[in-house]
Amino acid sequence: TILNIGADLDQDAPILYLRVAGASVKRGAHVINAGGRRTKLDAQAQTTLRYRYGTAAHLALGLLASVVKQGLSSDDWVKSRTTGFADLEKALQNYAPDKVADITGIEADAIDAAAKAFAEAENGIIIFGLEAGNDPALKAALEALALVTGHAGKANNGLIAVLPHANSRGAVDMGILPDRLPGYKPVETNAGLSAQEMLQAGQVKGLLIAAADPAPDSDSYKQALEQLDFLVVQELFLTETALLADVVLPARGMAERDGSYTNLERRVQTFDTAVPAPPKAWADWLIFTGIAGQMGADWAYASADGVMAEITQRVSLYAGMGFKNLTAPISLQRKTEHYIYEGMSFTADVREGVQWATAAENDSSPQIPLRFVEPAKVKSDEKGLTLVAPRMLYDGGRLLAEAETVAAHILEPELMLSGHDARKMGLANGDEVTVSQNGATVTVPVRINRTVSEGVALMPRNLAGRPAEKLVGPDGLYSTVNVEKS
């Protein structure tokens, strides 16, 4: 059974979508697709759960409470590998399916049936995405759901976070989070600031930006960058952020360099240089090394392999994952199974890479605490439409705009409405509307879209000009807005 919650896999991770759809159609997997709107995966799902935006954590807790209520927890796993079950069970009393039904809009019987299907399955995968919200309560509930049902620590089981970029997992592994060091070790002192918090604080004087274009994300980001004393950008193209820079350093594209990626299933894989790079373009690691040298540091890296060698020494998750091992014949690799969705194993081919192990997969790890985080109270008295700002596969960034074959597939900013809401407001396809929220306004055309639920409006966040982010914020997902015909 595959539970997908808050991810539009067709847009967020299309290869993963093909895997999940194939598992349903070809291998008989039971797919439970939970989200705030219809998505392409609904066609391959045996069960669909349509929750109100902002209630994904409540649904996850309802599923977990139902598992416990129906006596479907994996007692041996819970006793031997986890702690805190009694406290969790007590907290779940407030999230019984009949109570959660009123909050989420999903009937209690449907929650019970989905919980039973997931708990009783031989194998269980949980996939969750950004549309469910960056919610600590949701993450804790899904983690507990996997552990309580015993769907963890083995092939074909576990959780997958659908992150926005190809190597997002690798970046997080390396300590990019403000409260985590490389390998997810906690920061011993106060946690640092996120990129958004640093820019908003206005205390940063100099900044180096690599392979990111935050300027068009919001007016506040652009203003913060303009106020810097010194800005360096390393990029492939003169993006909006690069145009603000004091110095632009030409970087290499993926095909022009070698290195490694860590994908959504925690699999570390290498890639090689495929085409020659422009003479003055350097790989990112070489740019960083050169800057460090000018500042008096002695970083003795001679290749991407050398950088990876240090990672294997300093980040325990990556121990033994030097380029030599990652590119070795399968008989020399630590793991001999190919894990899709942290599972779905079959015999691996050469250079399939190596997957780092979670605590649940490591028998020597201490018992895992079952966490409960109280979800935020759902606001029910706000008037207007719920504006949701999902990501689109073909975005409005500079990189895709340079590719003629792809550019034709990039949408222009628009507001997607259900037919019911459009008729109620007297709107037709192409009509201009003004969308406002807390003083921020944008004007875009309307497009009626059958995937949008009543009371919800969609405006993709990563299209030209990023108008949606003016309404929900650079890191927000949804907000309540007013829509008026222009």
The string of pLDDT tens digits covering residues 8-24 is: 999 999 999 999 999 99
The answer on pLDDT for 343 being more than 60 is no
Average pLDDT estimate for 422-427: 96
Cβ-contact 124, 146 below 8 angstroms: yes
Task: Select, from the ranges 38-47, 347-356, 434-443, 452-461, the one with the highest average predicted confidence (pLDDT).
Answer: 38-47
Read off the pLDDT of each residue in 360-384 and give the average, rounded to a whole number: 84
Going by pLDDT thresholds of 50, 70 and 90, the confidence category of residue 451 is: confident
Rounded to two decimals, what is the model's pTM? Answer: 0.89
Q: What is the pLDDT of residue 407?
A: 80
Contacts 24+ apart (CB under 8 A), 277-282: 277/252, 277/253, 278/250, 280/250, 281/250, 281/251, 281/252, 281/256, 282/249, 282/250, 282/251, 282/252
What domains are there in the chain, each with its CATH number? Answer: 2-162 (3.40.228.10), 168-354 (3.40.50.740), 385-485 (2.40.40.20)
Task: Find the range with the poorest average confidence among 245-259, 338-352, 369-383, 435-449.
Answer: 338-352
Q: How confident is the model at residue 329 (pLDDT cuts 50, 70, 90)?
A: low
Question: Residue 297: CB partners within 8 Å, gap ≥ 6?
Answer: none
* DSSP letter string, 312-373: HHH-GGGTT--HHHHTS-GGGSS--EEEETTEEEEEPPTT--EEPPPGGG-TTSPPEE----
pLDDT > 70: percent of the chain = 94
Give the pLDDT confidence score for residue 402 in this predicted structure. Answer: 79
E strands, 203-254, in order: 206-210, 230-235, 247-250
pLDDT digits (tens, 9 = 90+) for 160-194: 999 988 899 999 999 999 999 999 998 888 888 98
Find all residues with CB under 8 Å of 18, minimum gap 6, and list them.
none
The residue written with tokens 């875009």 in the block is 444
What is the pLDDT at residue 148? Answer: 97
- Cα(362)–Cα(356) distance, integer angstroms: 10
**What is the mean predicted confidence (pLDDT) over 268-297?**
94
Structure tokens at 368: 């895992």
Least confident of 86-90, 446-450, 477-481: 477-481
The mean pLDDT of 283-288, rounded to a whole number, is: 96
The confidence score (pLDDT) of residue 330 equals: 52
Which residues does 394 contact at the CB level (< 8 Å), separation at least 6? 400, 406, 409, 410, 411
Average pLDDT over residues 41-60: 96
CA–centroid distance for 243 within its chain:
28
Mean predicted confidence (pLDDT) in 349-355: 69
| pLDDT (mean) for 29-52 | 96
pLDDT tens digit string along 255-278?
Answer: 999 999 999 989 999 999 999 999
pLDDT digits over 97-150, tens only? Answer: 999 999 999 999 999 999 999 999 999 999 999 887 678 999 999 999 999 999
